[in-house]
Structure 1
Amino acid sequence: MHLSRSRLVVAGIAGIALVAGSSVAAEAASPARTSKIESKRVDSVPTPKLGWYKCYEIAECATVKLPLDYDKPKGAKTEIAVLRVKAKDQKHKIGSLFLNPGGPGGSGTDIALNAPYFLSESLLQKFDIVGVDPRGIGASANIKCFTSVKAQSAVMAKLNIAFPVGAKQEATYTAGAKAFGKACSTTGKPLSGAMSTAEVARDMDVIRRAVGDKKLTYLGFSYGTVLGEYYANMFPDRVRALAIDGNLDPRAWVGAGSAGDRILDARLHSADGAYRALKEIFKRCDRAGEKYCAFAAGNPEANFAAITRSLKAKPVVVTDEEGTFTITYADFVSAELSALYSPYAGENTMQLAADIAALIKGGSSPAVAAARTSVLDRIRTARATGYDFPYDNSFETTMGVVCTDGTHPKNAASWPAATAVRDRQAPYFGRAWGYIDAPCARSTWTVRDEDAYRGPFNKRTSAPVLLIGNYWDPATNYDASVAMSRVLPNSRLLTSDNWGHTAYGTGACATAAIDNYLLKVALPAKGTTCAAEHQPFTEPIETGGEPATATTMSATPGKRLPPVAAPRPVSILTGGR
């Protein structure tokens, strides 16, 4: 969908050193080769003829039928949707730039359609922007795990909370996770067993050929980094430029070896990244004082803990002319996690904490009335969507990839204990992140993709890979970007100190580095750390105005942030990014 036009906040510009493209060529010597098995799989598929037609006023659309199983190229097919926004300068076009927004479950056609609103003009001039909806997702043939909305709603009613707290909720959630996994393993077939990231990488390689590119140019965000990492290792000699922003470690993603007995967040450590960011916000809020931080009075960290204890003991009930709403501990934590996704994470998390604290205190003061309005606005935005007509397969698309890619614990009943451990290791967010893959328990999600890729992830590519990670990412832990820079032999790590999820658009330094790499295959200098345009609590509350949201703030005038999708808990307090 299109993003609405909103106010932009632009800060100062940081510079960046670039390495000339000629020096990159030496680094890219002796790439690994695509294996004979993968070559046979994808190259045996005839190059599709994309019947482009005009769509959405600014784009062209097409669909193509590709093998459900690449070992049987003449067998059953699945329909894949493709959208492109053509380069403004066709005469000097470099080729196609493929985009993926993450998720898994994010729509490639949507992010391509929105490219004019967030990509730099230099990229829009020189690349056809191409988005592919991964199989089962978006405008491609959809996965559908239930025979009706009614059947789906009965199961989702057990899962439609931020995360379970207490034995009763845990039992209900576990039952829902089992029912969901069984539904996708039966009614969801055959797509539920053919949605692995490896299959999407194969689809992308065939479509790369169909649009006329000899090698792939790619920009992926969040889970889209996994897709990029898979492509780099499955087709290492077919890479022109591959920029992946907000990295997950694919070795942890697949749960190889003993890691297969651990829940997803015990491997990815997303909760640790979120907690690290929140701890830093507490410190900066306390240092900035009440003039700059809405939650600075007293000890912010201790006061935050007091709020969570209060909500665990007694949820807050908020009433106005439109109804009565109950805000639980899990709702609050999930809303704080959502707030961490914004470049204005500091201001947003602490304002939410201050609002909830005011509601807990109660009374009829103007501050309490303002807090009530703010919180209810969040609730109503989120509750505008739900599992009603038409059929919404968004959770199925996420699980279709997560469960098929990885090796997960055997029994769904093991998640409460495992998430409790994670919550001790990463307070507040261990359970919030930990329950995401509960439907993937091997005893209930029984459908498999025998052609899923499980590594290795250390292939030398024909061109260098640019990895981008930011210190304070609450979803894709910065440590994963560091780890991947050590695993991929022909890669370079670009670090950003921005807040929120992923770095593109949050600062001129990081954005320019990514743009120049994609245009010229020119790497930033080793050890480059980019300064973001905004750091928390730098404007007085009374003069700073309303902070920009995650989708409006960009370092580039006239642009917004990319519409990145990431798997995270659903909360009644947030409509999502």
Structure 2
Amino acid sequence: MHIPPIPGSPAGRRRQTAALAAAVICSTVFTGPDLAVAGGPSPSVPAPKLDWKPCIQGSPFDCATAKVPLDHLNPGGRTIELAVIKRKATGPGRRIGTLFFNPGGPGGPGTVQMPQNYEFFPREVRERFDIVSWDPRGIGSSTAMNCFANREEADAWAASKPAGFPVGERERTAYAAAYKDLARRCEQRDPELLRHVSTADTARDLEQLRQAVGDEQLSYFGISYGTFLGATYANLFPDKVRAMVFDSNVDPQVWTHASGDDSRLPTFLRMGADRGAAAVLDKFLAHCGSITTARCAFSAGSPKATREKFDQLMQRLRKQPAGAWTYGRTVGDVVNSLYQVQGWTGLAGRLQTLWQGRVPEPAVFPPGPPVPNPNPYLGDEQAGAVFCSDSPNPRDPAAYHAAEEASAPRAGDAGRFWAWAAEGCAAWPAAAMANRYRGPWNKPTAHPILLVGTTYDPATPYSGAQAMARELANARLLTNSGYGHTALVNPSSCVNEHESRYLIDGTLPPAGTTCQQDTPPFSATKPRGGVGTGGGGMADRVS
């Protein structure tokens, strides 16, 4: 299973990607025991102590380690560690409090991705808040799921399956076998941790961290999967909500439930990520075909001709890869590169190189600021442990090929990609689903929540933001008219202004407000930073 990362994140540089498809599948769906976590506080647990110190010499970021219970409902048992990072408010004397940030995924390492994306936060927010993030339990530099004895063993496992997604019966067999093997390894390695990495567990960690920094209520900014984490927190601890921004929203009902015809679909097809990615890809090709090759190297002179050129390239790669650039890998690169509009120029260049029969160089991204561990282990099992804990998916590996074939007519290559994104859940241990939260999602919060949805999003469609607005008891939807995954890394001065007003003094944008992106496709601006997101899967992240 694969949760695609945004290009530029460490996961995006190392991991392979997969995509979602939508289909009606004749298979059994495992929904797990119906043990929805009850809302309300956990048994009383002292807040962890955060001993802040500079992360490394010369870094503007401070680091600490928080100890929290493995099982918040049994706080006297085993404890685990959370790696935490902070950038102090830059406006002396004007500090409001702490803004907690989750970079999506599931599985985004906040200790890496918050520093990478710090400059994307509105200036006024950076002045008034300490910005804090953390590697969620099971992830990165926190107590992590690691189902291999060493990095070499993990690399050998990754090499045993096709890149991106499988093509053909032999690759499909190898793909399913690899994830079945991963599930077996994880169940043997640390079964106790495996049972306690759900989003509900992480929401309770977030409540512990809020107490640790001394804020009476929570200020929070979550993107992609981070919106689902935020919704879970808001419904477990509704009286603790001061201000929460959810950017690129996951429909919480779709994420946690599968019913009717949808009960036979993988999560990402239920979300409609396949259609969303196909729509953005179509816009990418249309924009490219409308300009010259000086601005878009892959242009064939018109939108129609450029779409045809892309289809021909994909057909060719299915028959004959260009070195390691198989059809599956290339489609994964395409979908992930659609996440950030400023990366579209580079994507067009790689496609043109492939069209010419040459092997493209992978995308290169500037290094982030110095942090203690800029390249933590982020194996497929980390995102999968969270995602498979929360979201029901078919247990029959054959269901994912059926999903691919059903999604392809409506979503093309992007549909094939998304159809396989959750396949790792087919063999995931059932015990991992014991601690999830499945709603309700409409508990009245102490203050309203601000939602941001982008109209053309290749991972979390705009419909997810509309659904989140309907589900929450008190939320306002701000529409970002543009392309890409999250308004955070596809900046809009208008969105930033509304987020700043809301986070600083609670002022919501008027109902129905729509903003525009600052940077149009194929501008000269180069991409900066990167964020792990969000839609879910094991090899990479949605958000």
- What TM-score comes out, normalization by structure 1 length? 0.79
Q: Assess, with a 3 A threshold, how the Cα gap between structure 1 residues 569 and 310 changes in structure 2: closer, same or farther.
A: farther
1:50 aligns with 2:54: no
Q: Aligned letter for 1:407?
A: P
Asked whether the equivalents of residues 158 and 175 of structure 1 are also in contact (C-alpha less than 8 Å), the reply is no
1:79 aligns with 2:47: no
Worse-matched range after superposition: 93-102 or 307-316: 307-316
1:279 corresponds in structure 2 to 282
1:320 corresponds in structure 2 to none
SS in 1 for 2:242: strand
Runs (5+) with no aligned partner, structure 2: 1-6, 9-35, 366-374
Q: Assess, with a 3 A threshold, how the Cα gap between structure 1 residues 90 and 200 changes in structure 2: closer, same or farther.
A: farther
Asked whether the equivalents of residues 50 and 65 of structure 2 are also in contact (C-alpha less than 8 Å), the reply is yes
SS in 2 for 1:173: helix
Q: 1:322-333 maps to which residues of 2 (within 5 A)?
A: 325-333=323-331
Q: Aligned letter for 2:392?
A: T
1:297 aligns with 2:301: yes
1:177 corresponds in structure 2 to 179
Sequence identity of aligned pairs in percent? Answer: 34
Q: Assess, with a 3 A threshold, how the Cα gap between structure 1 residues 413 and 153 changes in structure 2: closer, same or farther.
A: farther
SS in 2 for 1:376: coil
Q: Determine the C-alpha separation between the residues in 1 that align with 2:61 and 2:156.
A: 39
Asked whether the equivalents of residues 432 and 569 of structure 1 are also in contact (C-alpha less than 8 Å), the reply is no
Q: Determine the C-alpha separation between the residues in 2 that align with 1:303 and 1:342.
A: 22
Asked whether the equivalents of residues 41 and 237 of structure 2 are also in contact (C-alpha less than 8 Å), the reply is no
Q: Determine the C-alpha separation between the residues in 2 that align with 1:104 and 1:110.
A: 14
Worse-matched range after superposition: 284-293 or 226-235: 284-293
1:481 to 441, 465, 470: 465
1:525 aligns with 2:510: yes
Q: Determine the C-alpha separation between the residues in 1 that align with 2:95 and 2:329.
A: 48
Asked whether the equivalents of residues 104 and 223 of structure 1 are also in contact (C-alpha less than 8 Å), the reply is yes
Q: Aligned letter for 1:463?
A: H
Asked whether the equivalents of residues 381 and 538 of structure 2 are also in contact (C-alpha less than 8 Å), the reply is no
1:460 aligns with 2:448: no
Q: Assess, with a 3 A threshold, how the Cα gap between structure 1 residues 342 and 115 changes in structure 2: closer, same or farther.
A: closer
SS in 1 for 2:393: coil
Q: 1:471-510 maps to which residues of 2 (within 5 A)?
A: 471-504=455-488, 506-510=491-495
1:314 corresponds in structure 2 to 320
Q: Determine the C-alpha separation between the residues in 2 that align with 1:208 and 1:81.
A: 15
Greater relative contact order structure (CA < 8 Å, 6+ sep): 2
1:68 to 67, 70, 87: 70
Worse-matched range after superposition: 343-352 or 476-485: 343-352
Q: Determine the C-alpha separation between the residues in 1 that align with 2:478 and 2:409.
A: 31
Asked whether the equivalents of residues 149 and 391 of structure 1 are also in contact (C-alpha less than 8 Å), the reply is no
CA apart distance, 1:79:
1.2
Q: Determine the C-alpha separation between the residues in 2 that align with 1:191 and 1:314.
A: 43
Q: Assess, with a 3 A threshold, how the Cα gap between structure 1 residues 391 and 88 changes in structure 2: closer, same or farther.
A: closer
- What TM-score comes out, normalization by structure 2 length? 0.84
2:356 corresponds in structure 1 to 358
Q: Assess, with a 3 A threshold, how the Cα gap between structure 1 residues 444 and 218 changes in structure 2: closer, same or farther.
A: closer
1:409 aligns with 2:394: yes
1:266 corresponds in structure 2 to 269
Q: Determine the C-alpha separation between the residues in 1 that align with 2:115 and 2:450.
A: 24
Q: 1:386-425 maps to which residues of 2 (within 5 A)?
A: 392-425=377-410
CA apart distance, 1:491:
0.7
Q: Aligned letter for 1:467?
A: L
Q: Determine the C-alpha separation between the residues in 2 that align with 1:182 and 1:457.
A: 33
1:336 corresponds in structure 2 to 334
SS in 1 for 2:98: strand
Q: 1:70-149 maps to which residues of 2 (within 5 A)?
A: 70-89=72-91, 91-114=93-116, 116-149=118-151
Q: Assess, with a 3 A threshold, how the Cα gap between structure 1 residues 134 and 160 changes in structure 2: closer, same or farther.
A: farther
Q: Aligned letter for 1:409?
A: P
CA apart distance, 1:151:
4.2
Q: Determine the C-alpha separation between the residues in 2 that align with 1:499 and 1:182.
A: 39
Q: Assess, with a 3 A threshold, how the Cα gap between structure 1 residues 570 and 87 changes in structure 2: closer, same or farther.
A: same
2:429 corresponds in structure 1 to 445
Q: Determine the C-alpha separation between the residues in 2 that align with 1:356 and 1:569.
A: 27
Q: Determine the C-alpha separation between the residues in 1 that align with 2:471 and 2:504.
A: 25
Q: Aligned letter for 2:52?
A: W
Q: Assess, with a 3 A threshold, how the Cα gap between structure 1 residues 379 and 165 changes in structure 2: closer, same or farther.
A: farther
**Deviation readout 1:373-401 (Å, 9 max, x if unpaired):** xx5321899xxxxxxxx993431211111
Q: Assess, with a 3 A threshold, how the Cα gap between structure 1 residues 47 and 161 changes in structure 2: closer, same or farther.
A: same
2:534 corresponds in structure 1 to 566
* Rg comparison, structure with higher value: 1
Q: Aligned letter for 2:396?
A: N
Q: Assess, with a 3 A threshold, how the Cα gap between structure 1 residues 123 and 69 changes in structure 2: closer, same or farther.
A: same
Q: Assess, with a 3 A threshold, how the Cα gap between structure 1 residues 90 and 305 changes in structure 2: closer, same or farther.
A: same
CA apart distance, 1:140:
0.9
SS in 2 for 1:128: strand
Q: Assess, with a 3 A threshold, how the Cα gap between structure 1 residues 303 and 562 changes in structure 2: closer, same or farther.
A: closer
1:363 corresponds in structure 2 to none
CA apart distance, 1:128:
1.3
Q: Determine the C-alpha separation between the residues in 2 that align with 1:430 and 1:313.
A: 19
CA RMSD of aligned residues (A): 2.9
SS in 2 for 1:61: strand
Asked whether the equivalents of residues 125 and 500 of structure 2 are also in contact (C-alpha less than 8 Å), the reply is yes
**Deviation readout 1:3-35 (Å, 9 max, x if unpaired):** 99xxxxxxxxxxxxxxxxxxxxxxxxxxxxxx9
Asked whether the equivalents of residues 68 and 82 of structure 2 are also in contact (C-alpha less than 8 Å), the reply is yes
